Amino acid sequence: MGRAADFEGAGRTAAWMTALPHATWRAVRDAHTGHTIHVVSDRSFNELTKDLDFGLQILGWMSRRPVTWYWWDQPWARRLPANTDPRQEHLNGGWAIPGVLEVHVYRREEAHKVMVHETIHALGLDIPQALTDPVRVRVEGALGRRLWPHFGEAFTELYAEWLWSVTSGGSWSAQMACSQKQAAEVWVRIRDAKEPEDTNVFAYYVQKWVLMQHLESVLLDPVSSVGFWFDWWIAARPRLEELAAAAGATEREELRMGMTCHSSAE
Ligand SMILES: [Zn+2]
């Protein structure tokens, strides 16, 4: 638990655990697949059980090799205050190290989708960064500022939302509509930004929405699709500007930043 004090930068998870009057610590393992979940939560045993069962099901579907999911089931929803540019504390929800079959999630909000995203990293299913770096550099040139280095997160998040949508029985049309609304709202905030990014805002919300419009190409052959990413972004930009113009008033509102418009663990 040494990292709990600082892994999300704000110390919120450590403070939450310290303040819990009746923390529930649970560990479950699927005897057949070997997947394991460790969770700390303030929710009741029964309420948590369905989320743990669903987590083991998803892991069973994604990986033959046993994965361990560490979950701080914390009611810390992603909210972006009015007139604020999105940063790490408004978006991030977990981490994983490629090749290490352990995933970490520190929010309750859309926890299964975040777990899928981190499992993609853990299983090494990302597009190699060497391939996405040239696209990032071109986009940085067009925007006139630095982006977060992990531009391939646009694919990782798209893939996670697709797998989450399939496993949870959600509507992909609804997910696309959700992403389009968020891309517009985020673009309203960041289109005039001058500072370098401190997390993957552009990749998560804008480039992912661009890739979503070319879903088959991206999912069937992610690596080859990278060669089109920049042109797709340039082609999508006029539509994004139109959508952002219509969403201009949202700059003065608090926004929900969770990337699925409904979630199994909310
Ligand atoms: Zn990621």
| Each residue's pLDDT expressed in tens, for the chain with a length of 266 residues | 344 446 777 788 888 888 888 777 899 999 999 999 999 998 988 889 999 999 999 999 999 999 999 999 998 888 888 888 878 777 788 999 999 999 999 999 999 999 999 999 999 999 999 999 999 999 999 999 999 999 999 999 999 999 999 998 889 999 999 999 999 999 999 999 889 998 889 999 999 999 999 999 999 999 999 999 999 999 999 999 999 999 988 888 888 888 887 644 44
d(CA 215, ligand 1 centre) in Å: 19
- Position 263 in a domain: no
d(CA 234, ligand 1 centre) in Å: 24
- Same domain as 90, residue 7: yes
d(CA 22, ligand 1 centre) in Å: 31
- Same domain as 85, residue 22: yes
Q: Print the domain residue range for 53.
A: 2-122
- Same domain as 249, residue 138: yes
- Position 261 in a domain: no
- Same domain as 141, residue 63: no
**Which distant-in-sequence residues (6+ apart) come within 8 Å of 191 by Cβ?**
244
pTM of the model: 0.92
Q: What are phi and psi of 25, to 5 degrees?
A: -105, 125
- Position 264 in a domain: no
- Same domain as 176, residue 115: no
Q: How far apart are CA 237 and CA 201, in angstroms?
A: 16
Which one of 87, 122, 157 terminates a domain?
Answer: 122
